[in-house]
Amino acid sequence: MKEAYLYDRLEEERVRCALCNHRCVIKPGKRGICGVRENRGGTLYSLVYGKVIAAHTDPIEKKPLFHFLPGSLSYSIATVGCNFRCRFCQNADISQMPAETGRIDGKDTTPEAVVEAALASGSESIAYTYTEPTIFFEMARDTALLADSKGLKNVFVSNGYMTPECLESIHPHLHAANVDLKAFTDRFYKEQCGAKLAPVLTTLETMKRLNVWLEVTTLLIPGHNDDPGELRELADFLVSLDPYTPWHISRFYPTYKLLDAPPTPPETVRRARDIGYEAGLKYVYTGNLPGDMGEKTYCPDCGELLIDRVGFRVGGVRIKNGKCAQCGGSVAGVWTH
Ligand code: SF4
């Protein structure tokens, strides 16, 4: 157990957590919405510090990050808990464990041990992923600072609900992020995730301002967030942020509590990709469609195939010093360590 970062003490031993935009006010003896931060006598503690529930060495493409050290490995960790309640969560067994059962499972470890394991695995980065890194921020931040000092990069895979002050406090040790933009309506965020849209948009803007390499993912769920007009609005927002922001559009399969929606038809995913390009985005990808053309990176200037991918495997990379090997046009991303 570790005293939390980023909270305020209030009257009558209550505290207000400032890690994410729920900004929970927590009474003594109670936990926040994420279920992993507890007020004990007016002091807020993280219950998941050093309690790692998952640790794997993954291709960076699995995050997905397609423009950040392609073909490299990323040592990936998570604790239990989440500040969202997504009805379609693919990792609900660990993300919703504290909220649904009160349990905080995990193997005891330390930031030092995580960094050592990452280096031993041959990874070039550590990814804080599978659940939501914001809710294990103390562990993530301590690990990230140490990792950075040893030459490892740090990557968040996040729902983007952290506060600006949370992001500022890990800057500049956070090098890249893949943030879910789950839909472009407040209704979807409220009904499907128990959250709001606006703070996520602010996070995307803040990450851009802080120069964190950013890629965005949208899981396309038939009948819920696949309206072409809504997708165009979402894409327009990304263009206003930066047209060179990679956008990953993933195919949905029924899972957890969202079992009454069908798998996304592949043509719907491809149509969404077209909408992204029509809006002016330069790199738009299809996800969960192994072998699809939309997994590959093409030069926005000359159309040359720059990175050949099949699933999470990278074939040839035709980028030299951040430029297209064919026409010399710049390719947005982080290509060398
Ligand atoms: S991190 Fe947890 S306790 Fe803190 S504001 Fe978010 S949900 Fe509430």
Give the separation between CA 247 and CA 302, rounded to whole angstroms: 20
Residue nearest to atom 6 of ligand 1 (CA): 20
pTM of the entire predicted model: 0.97
Please return the burial class of 120, using the count of CB atoms within 10 Å of its CB with bins 0-12, 13-18 and 19+. exposed
Q: Say what the pLDDT of residue 337 is.
A: 81
Mean pLDDT of 271-292: 97
Give the separation between CA 304 and CA 296, rounded to whole angstroms: 11
67 lines ligand 1 (CB under 6 A): no
Of 68-77, 161-170, 207-216, 310-319, least confident by mean pLDDT is: 310-319
33 lines ligand 1 (CB under 6 A): yes
Q: Say what the pLDDT of residue 45 is.
A: 98
Mean pLDDT of 167-192: 98
pLDDT reading at 1 higher than 90: no
Reference 337, options 39, 123, 45, 16; nearest CA is: 123
H or E element: which one contains 236?
A: helix 228-241
Q: Which of 36, 135, 136 to mutate to test the pocket of ligand 1 (most atoms within 8 A of CB)?
A: 135
**Mean pLDDT, the chain, whole residue set:** 97
The DSSP string of 301-320 is TT--EEEEEETTEEEEE-EE
**Order of strands across the sheet with 297-298?**
297-298, 305-310, 313-317
20 lines ligand 1 (CB under 6 A): yes
Q: Which of 8, 30, 34 to mutate to test the pocket of ligand 1 (most atoms within 8 A of CB)?
A: 34
24 lines ligand 1 (CB under 6 A): yes
pLDDT reading at 133 higher than 90: yes
Q: Which atom of ligand 1 is nearest to the CA of 23?
A: 5
Mean pLDDT of 103-129: 98
Ligand 1 centroid to 211 CA: how many Å? 25
- Give CA separation, 232 vs 183, 235, 245, 284, 299, in Å: 11, 5, 15, 13, 22
135 lines ligand 1 (CB under 6 A): yes
Of 70-79, 248-257, 312-321, least confident by mean pLDDT is: 312-321
Mean pLDDT of 171-195: 98
Q: What is the pLDDT of residues 212-249, one digit of tens each?
A: 999 999 999 999 999 999 999 999 999 999 999 999 99
Q: Which of 5, 24, 132 to mutate to test the pocket of ligand 1 (most atoms within 8 A of CB)?
A: 24
37 lines ligand 1 (CB under 6 A): yes
pLDDT reading at 316 higher than 90: no
